Amino acid sequence: MKISRRQLRSIISEVLLKEAYVTHDVVKQKIKKNIDEFMKIDIDGFEELMQEIAVVETGTMVDGVVNHNNEMSGQIRGVFQLSPIALKQLRKSTTIPATKAKFDASTATKDPWDKQTNADVFSTVGMQTAAAVMYAMWAYINLAGSPDLSSVDARAKFWANHYNTTADPLGTAQLYKDRVKLFLNRE
């Protein structure tokens, strides 16, 4: 059986998408589960912040659907572009102990958060989401001083100054707002 080049490209693209990409709907479900069920976070705009961080960090449009590149090479990886430094911070006993205690008491994992290796965290989008939510929560409280997150502007400033690194010349609040508008149609 012969197939055309176009058909072959389509098959290859489909396989690559399944392995390297995850839909925004899946990411939203993981965010909601971590915030509402596992960590019980009740901060106005926090769920939106996490959705927006995902699209800013790895959002891409495939056939009109928002997807996320779940890149696993390099030091900074995954849907939320987590670094080893961020994961190390999350293992400290003084880092958001109440939030980690809620996570540990949930059904999310059988081992406590502090026992999760980097490989464990990057093994699923759910674990990446848990780490990103905890890291954002830590930055929200300890670095930013619990700012208002109720608007895209406020969340953009938080991301540019506290979740992302100010050493990144592309990591501006304007880039955040542009990508949020493009992918989520939020202003």
Buried b (16+ CB within 10 A) or exposed e, 96-125: beebbebbeeeebbeeebeebeeeebbeeb
Round to whole Å and give the CA distance between 116 and 112. Answer: 7
Q: What is the pLDDT of residues 89-109, one digit of tens each?
A: 999 999 999 999 999 999 888
Q: Does the pLDDT of residue 137 top 80, yes or no?
A: yes
pLDDT digit string (tens) for 24-82?
999 999 999 999 999 999 999 999 999 999 999 999 988 888 999 888 888 899 999 99
The pLDDT value given to residue 10: 66
Task: Report, in angstroms and rounded to the nearest whole number, the Rg of the chain calculated over CA atoms.
Answer: 17
Q: For 118-128, write each residue's pLDDT tens digit.
A: 999 998 999 99
CB 79 within 8 Å of CB 58:
yes
Neighbours of 141 (CB within 10 A): 14
∠28-158-149 over CA atoms, to 5°? Answer: 65
101 touches 53 (CB < 8 A): no
Stronger pLDDT, 170 or 8, i.e. the higher one: 170
pLDDT of residue 71: 83
Which of the four pLDDT bands, split at 50, 70 and 90, describes residue 17? very low
Give the pLDDT score at 1: 66
Mean pLDDT of 124-134: 95
